[in-house]
Structure 1
Amino acid sequence: MMTDKTRKKMLLAVDGSENSLEIIRYVAKIPPFREMQLVLLNVHSKIPEAYWDLEKNSSVNWRMSEARAWDKERQKAIEVYMQKAEKILWRAGFPKECVTVKIQNRKRGFARDIAREAEREYDGVLVGRKGMSNVKDLVLGSIATKLIGKVSFVPILVVGKKPQAGSVLVALDGSENAMRAVDYAGKVLGGADFDARFIHVIRDDNPEYANERKMQMNGVFDDAKDVLSGAGFDPERITTKIITGARSRAVAIAQEARDGGYGTIVVGRRGLSRVKDFLMGRVSDKLITLSKNHAVWVVN
């Protein structure tokens, strides 16, 4: 029997919006998450205590009374929201003792506060593409981008709108970081009834270079297959694909995910280059922008 110490621990950052409930629904659809310890974190802004001193000023007293009432309503709404999130997980078969709710006031900033919490030995942080606002890349969308930039010690799982469960697309480029992404996918999804595809994108359409690269990737694919098979994936349901002459790696990967019905995309934070935010690092950023209806896992 799995104990709290042996369970993987995932941090789910939710902001009280319908958009961020997609994180909860996504996790609820993937059986291996039921064996993990989940922490539902909400960071919200309270009216600074210094403002309460303004109540002594009769000219603004009525405004502050309104603010106090709003603050209480907001707190109650968050509590109701978190209860709703818990119920979604419970109904999906998650043990109640494995779901923890944490509500805290904003201290240093939404992204910084989430990052600070992530330092407490989590195996992954799940965040939405969008949050309270439906405006593209606003609120939690920008938080996801900031977290990927700030948090390099734990994988960031960015969840879009209603990603499908049951299949995973893993981007490979032959780097150690990409293989760590394969290992992470195996450890998190191993034993699930999932199809898996490894994809490698070659931008150069030179036949000689493409053939040479394909030969190199055959061994990489074999090693990656062994990792997933060893983690519990059915070897017969693991496939590979190489795309050549692509103008953009991110576009090619996102298109493959859409065409193949892969709800989850796994990519390394960086690839063959050690330069920060180069190659696979840039690919992960672009993938999050392009993959509106997918979950993109950015693995360190």
Structure 2
Amino acid sequence: MTIPKKLLVLVDGSERSIQTVNYVKDFMPIDENTRIVLFHVFDAKPEEFCELEQNPACIDAVIELKNREAEQESGIWWYLERAKEVLIKGGIPKQSVEIKFHLKEKGIARDIIDEAKKGYSALIMRRRGLGALRSIILGSIAVKLLQSITFIPILIVGQVPTNKEILLAVDASPSSRKAVEFIASLLGGHGYGTCIFHAISGLTSINFNVSNANAPKVSEAQMSDNCIEAFKLKTAQLFHTTKETLLSSGFESEKISEKIVTGVHSRALAIIKEAEEGGYSTIVVGRRGLSKVEAFFMGRVGHKVVYGGDKYTVWVV
């Protein structure tokens, strides 16, 4: 399976967006077939501006707002050109980098979604940014992107210094398999290291949704050794298939490790803890888990890793 390397990189005119571009330059394998699109949705004219334009008494205010709009547009272009220069100086061919300055049409999120449908292999963004909209990962734009862009991976760049070590969290879901195939196609043969990781939940992690505060507490149940071994055996088979996919794409055997943890209360927290203790800068998770009826952003493992692992770069595939 070969995935074309056409990357949509969101640039908002901030230093954080330059850091996003640095991540692309420092982490992503770039060759002559790679195309990088630096994309910005320009939204400088508030609704009130249109009302002022229709009022002759507000001519001075309209002129002032137009001057500010021109200054803001010039500043965004400067950042876009600067971002392009960062990539070119990093060794990426000039012809492989494109700037798209897009005037808002439907809305910032909807315009990004429409652009993402044009044959990209991944969307890359920072956790914070997009102009005046701070805390992107908690904001409406990020929520809309994560809910709507299910057709390509979303790479959310964190603050941890970039290295070539990847924590690949897997389960038996089709989404997880897709994540494995994605990193194999994109990163295979370029010297990356990866840990294939799976966390087995303990029985105490099961929520029985007891709503009566006066109900007796459920005693902690212990998973039998035989049960744990059965899970481990099934996971070992999953690891074997995953490793074979990575090896066939060019990953080196000595740079692939495997780890199973058992009895965890939260699989998401176990993933984040492993990333911290293992020194990984990038976490890769599937968009959906084993429950096909549950949307990614409704609160299972992938969603919790995005929120809880805010220091790390998280790939949602």
TM-score by length of 2: 0.86
CA distance in 1, matches of 2:297, 2:140: 21
Matched, 1:27 2:27: no
What is residue 40 of structure 2 aligned with on the other side?
42
Deviation at 1:138, TM superposition (A): 6.1
Matched, 1:233 2:251: yes
CA distance in 1, matches of 2:51, 2:174: 56
Deviation at 1:39, TM superposition (A): 0.5
CA distance in 2, matches of 1:110, 1:56: 25
CA distance in 1, matches of 2:310, 2:284: 15
What is residue 212 of structure 2 aligned with on the other side?
none
Deviation at 1:22, TM superposition (A): 2.3
Matched, 1:298 2:296: no
Deviations 1:110-166 (A, max 9, x none): 111111001101111111111146954468x54333211011111111111244221
What is residue 268 of structure 1 aligned with on the other side?
286
CA distance in 2, matches of 1:287, 1:265: 9
What is residue 3 of structure 1 aligned with on the other side?
none
- Look up the SS of the partner of 2:230 in the other structure: helix
Matched, 1:289 2:307: yes
1:31 to 1:266, Cα distance in 2 relative to 1, 3 A: closer
Deviations 1:195-243 (A, max 9, x none): 1001101112613322111100111101101111111110111011111
Gap regions ≥5 residues in structure 1:
1-5
Deviation at 1:278, TM superposition (A): 6.0
Q: 1:131-280 counterparts in 2 under 5 A?
A: 131=129, 132=131, 136-137=135-136, 142-204=140-202, 206=223, 207-277=225-295
CA distance in 1, matches of 2:28, 2:296: 34
Identity among equivalent positions (%) equals 37
TM-score by length of 1: 0.90
> How many positions carry a matched residue from both structures?
293
- Greater shift in the superposed pair: 185-194 or 275-284: 275-284
RMSD value over aligned CA atoms?
Answer: 2.3
Query: Which is greater in Rg?
Result: 2
Partner amino acid, structure 2, of 1:83: E
Q: Is the 8 A contact 2:167 2:280 kept in 1?
A: yes
What is residue 90 of structure 1 aligned with on the other side?
88
- Look up the SS of the partner of 2:269 in the other structure: helix
Q: 1:66-85 counterparts in 2 under 5 A?
A: 66-85=64-83
1:212 to 1:68, Cα distance in 2 relative to 1, 3 A: same
Match of 2:62 among 51, 61, 64: 64
CA distance in 1, matches of 2:118, 2:60: 42
Q: Is the 8 A contact 2:155 2:315 kept in 1?
A: yes
Deviation at 1:186, TM superposition (A): 0.7
